[in-house]
Amino acid sequence: MLLALCSGLVHYFNNVAPGVISSDRRLKDATNALMAHVRFSEHKLSLDTTDTPPRLPSPDSVRYALRDSQGRLILGDPQLPAVSMSGETSQLIAMTQLNHRNVRSLTTRFDTPSGIILITVADMRPAAEPAARYGLVSTLLWDFVQLDITLVLVWVGIQVGLRPVKRLRQEIAARSPQDLRPIDETSVPREIAPAVVTLNRLFTTLRASVHSQQLFISNTAHQLRTPITGMQAQLDLLIAEPAAQPVKHRLLTLQEGIHQLAHASNQLLTLARADPAANIAVRKLPVDLGAIIGEVVARFFDRALQANIDLGIDVEPVSIKADPSLIDDLLSNLVDNALKYTPAGGSVTVSAARRDGRPYLAVEDTGRGIPAEERQRVRQRFYRMPNSPGHGSGLGLAIVDEIARIHEASVDIGPGAHGNGTTVSVSFP
């Protein structure tokens, strides 16, 4: 737009300047011709109208007026207005109103024997400025039409040219954080193909890193669980030996510590498995929540009987897409926490159904409950509420929160059905 405007102004001045220069030259020539015809006699001025060179200018092209220093007309056209000049100015070009027209005039000061005279000449020929202004407007109009057409063509070209980039952006945006499949390099423009190649290399590196981390977690779990299980079995046999009765209370303390070590190591490994960095490429399969709940509740049934806690289920047919082992860990931690904090004679209910179209599972207990101000803090790792019973590690709800985040689910902690106890519900997409 600025270039078009500058071009129009240059075009305008190129058309006006020659006409102005030519007009000024005519005015100067007319002034010199008039001065050559001025005659002085007895301190009076007269104009010699004889046809001797130089010729007087034609009235159709130039009009003139001779005035004294006081502005009084001596000779010429009285319609030409007087022009005031300072003492330092010998020539003055100005625009003059004559017969409702703007004409260009030149006023020149001459020192004569009869005193100072001012000769004003006005160019009566049509000015070039109106045509130049018309040319300026037409030039600008055409330039801006060209500019609009160019902008439309550029916009269309950009839209068409960026379609592959938009498709690539939509493809990447539609992926979940766990989808590390390589991008098809044949469907992208060659200008961004190097970026896609680099992305695919990054995805390959991430997949390899995740696989290495998962393999490390699996090996660590095996290497930890096997000796701890062996220690527990040997300690159980030792406690049953008659020779160990004098130190039985010490062995029982050691047995409790080993149980706590086994539980803590299992929870730490579960937390590592639930870390989103270790589950970027997690595969989500159809999971029947009812079947998972049945398996988990069956594992905790003996513990609930020993603690005199009513452990029950209330399940409707519902399924989700998730990692079955992680959902098992999530539910196991919820049931473990509920049994731990529910006193004898209480109840724990595991349910699954749909709410507002979303599948969910919930574990409700009749324990001490979680105050509203603590419900956010209990999700933090290694945090336990004051005066909590037992020797837990404070990782149960942290594991639940991490697994829910991997599956884009939300965890809600609230009171039980009658205001007593706690209800932890996990709503899946």
- Sorted by where each starts, the structural domains of the chain and their CATH numbers stand as 2-131 (3.30.450), 284-427 (3.30.565.10)
Which residues have C-beta within 8 Å of that of residue 119, sequence separation ≥ 6? 31, 34, 35, 64, 65, 66, 107, 108, 110
Q: Cα-flanking dihedrals φ and ψ of residue 38, to 5°?
A: -80, 135
Question: Which pLDDT score, from 0 to 100, does residue 248 have?
Answer: 82
Question: Which pLDDT score, from 0 to 100, does residue 390 have?
Answer: 59
Cβ–Cβ contacts within 10 Å for residue 80, how many?
A: 22
234 burial type by CB count under 10 A (0-12 exposed, 13-18 middle, 19+ buried): exposed
Widest pairwise Cα distance in the chain: 163
Run of H or E including 101: strand 101-112
Question: Which pLDDT score, from 0 to 100, does residue 142 have?
Answer: 84
Question: Which pLDDT score, from 0 to 100, does residue 406 have?
Answer: 82
- Cα(412)–Cα(360) distance, integer angstroms: 11
Which residues have C-beta within 8 Å of that of residue 206, sequence separation ≥ 6? 180, 280, 281
Question: Which pLDDT score, from 0 to 100, does residue 55 have?
Answer: 62
Residue 143 has which token pair? Answer: 């330039």
pTM of the entire predicted model: 0.49
CA Rg value for the chain: 51
Which residues have C-beta within 8 Å of that of residue 309, sequence separation ≥ 6? 339, 342, 344, 345, 346, 347, 348
What's 284's DSSP letter?
A: P
Which residues have C-beta within 8 Å of that of residue 335, sequence separation ≥ 6? 296, 297, 300, 311, 348, 350, 363
Residue type, position 238, single letter: L
Question: Which pLDDT score, from 0 to 100, does residue 65 have?
Answer: 85
Residues of 117-126 as b/e, b for ≥16 C-beta within 10 angstroms? bbbbbbbbee
Can you give the pLDDT of all 429 residues of the chain as single tens digits?
Answer: 888 788 878 877 777 777 778 888 888 888 888 877 777 766 666 666 665 555 666 666 788 888 887 778 888 888 888 877 777 778 888 888 777 777 888 888 887 777 788 888 888 776 656 666 777 777 778 888 888 899 999 999 998 888 888 888 888 888 766 677 888 887 777 888 888 889 889 888 887 877 777 677 667 766 777 777 788 888 888 888 888 888 888 888 887 787 777 776 776 666 666 666 555 555 678 889 999 999 999 999 999 999 999 999 999 989 998 888 888 888 988 998 899 888 899 999 999 999 888 999 999 999 888 888 888 888 877 777 766 665 666 677 888 888 888 888 999 998 887 778 899 999 998
* 3-state DSSP assignment of residue 420: coil
